[in-house]
Amino acid sequence: MQQFKLVILLLFLLTNNVAAQQTIKETILHDNKTREYIVYIPEIYDGNTPVPLMFNFHGFTGNANGHMNSSRMRPVADTANFILVYPQGALFFGSTHWNVGSWTRGSTADDLGFTEAMIDTLATKYNIDLNRVYSCGFSNGGYFSFELACQLSHRIAAIGSVGGKMSSETYNACNPIHPTPVVTIHGTQDNTVTYEGPTPVNSKSVAEVNAYWTDFNNTAALPIIENIPNTNTSDGSTVEYQTYNNGNNCSSVDHYKVIGGGHDWPGVWGNKDIDASSIIWNFVAQYDINGLINCNIISNTEEVEDSHKISLYPNPTNDLVTIDMGLSKRTICHIYSLKGERLLSQPIGPNHKTIDVSALPTNMYFLQIDHKIIKLIKK
């Protein structure tokens, strides 16, 4: 009897212990076709608290497993605690793809329905915060993330695109129902998805894509521009950061212009000054389906109006920075590099709101308090 009880206890622990890192290959029947996707569950996920859901779509002719390994977003999920999904594109004339018009015109793949079916299925298996569902992708996967922002915006809070644009079909039929934060990363020497021109066929330029979302989100007309320090001088490229902020629902449009960069996923191949996976997550994580979470981030010159606002000053700084957000208890502030490395962690509270960043090199950083993220410039 004692052995039987021990077996029952072990079975219970095995079937209920979700606090383990898992990579699971899943299938779903959609539109009379078996569709595949890979789900990554970080070790810190315990099932008790709703967590965000991030889709990461591979490029044309790519596959879910290859993109999972090459985009290196799993370490970000391990730290930030979100469920990460790598869907598998269907075949179109022998090549895997996402149905976005342009060179995929004629495809009958219901990728929008497939994505919505994945959301619904995953929500039955895991404790997902359905207000924080995000999408990103590379190349064709970036195109498809824009398609989701246009046609599935009632499910998608914010998106990121690396080496992707909007097709004319996506652009002309775009019908989002809420301000949608967008971050784009694109190389000026990308010969596959050109920065300026209409390649691939029936594609908008990067400038046209960013202009669409700045106009729709009603952001500032002109960007704030910062040059990212060229920490890797052997990669043949530099990065200019542009942010259009103060949009409706505190939305923004961010763009990382990789000058001299090609058709790459920065941080893994191509430019090494930034890490695309970390940048995308740190951007989208600020938002839920209703916009910036609590609209907490305000400009450096704006006064703090209540305890839900956050102010960071001076910013830029060369030594000390003060955080004012009406704290009533102690919490932990983290500072991350553009490559996603945690560089500093320090308790802050009602009587201790100053952080010394003098030891950090001149650069731009992400300062995180709970789910609130603000950019910090170190002079």
* Per-position DSSP letters for 324-377, written without gaps between them: ES--SS-EEEEEE-TTS-EEEEEEEBTTB-EEE-TTSPSEEEEEEETTEEEEEE
Q: What single letter denotes the amino acid at residue 311?
A: S
pTM: 0.83
User: Domain map of the chain by residue range?
Assistant: 18-295, 311-378
CATH for 18-295 (3.40.50.2020, 1.10.10.10, 3.40.640.10, 3.40.50.1820): 3.40.50.1820
Alpha-carbon distance values, 191 to 57, 137, 142, 269 (Å): 20, 18, 16, 16
- Fold exhibited by the domain 311-378: Immunoglobulin-like (2.60.40)
Per-residue pLDDT of the chain (379 residues; tens, 9 = 90+): 454 444 444 444 344 444 568 999 999 999 999 999 999 999 999 999 999 999 999 999 999 999 999 999 999 999 999 999 999 999 999 999 999 999 999 999 999 999 999 999 999 999 999 999 999 999 999 999 999 999 999 999 999 999 999 999 999 999 999 999 999 999 999 999 999 989 999 999 999 999 999 999 999 999 999 999 999 999 999 999 999 999 999 999 999 999 999 999 999 999 999 999 999 999 999 999 999 987 654 433 333 333 346 778 888 898 888 888 766 677 878 898 887 777 888 888 777 788 889 889 888 888 888 767 888 888 8
Q: What is the C-alpha to C-alpha distance for residues 10 and 209, in angstroms, rounded to an integer?
A: 54
- Residues 193 and 209: beta-carbon distance below 8 Å: no
Among residues 350, 353, 365, 279, which one has the least CA distance to residue 315?
Answer: 365
Alpha-carbon distance values, 107 to 53, 187, 247 (Å): 27, 28, 35
β-partners of residue 349 are 352
Question: What would the pLDDT profile of 244-296 be if each residue is shown by its tens digit?
Answer: 999 999 999 999 999 999 999 999 999 999 999 999 999 999 999 999 987 65
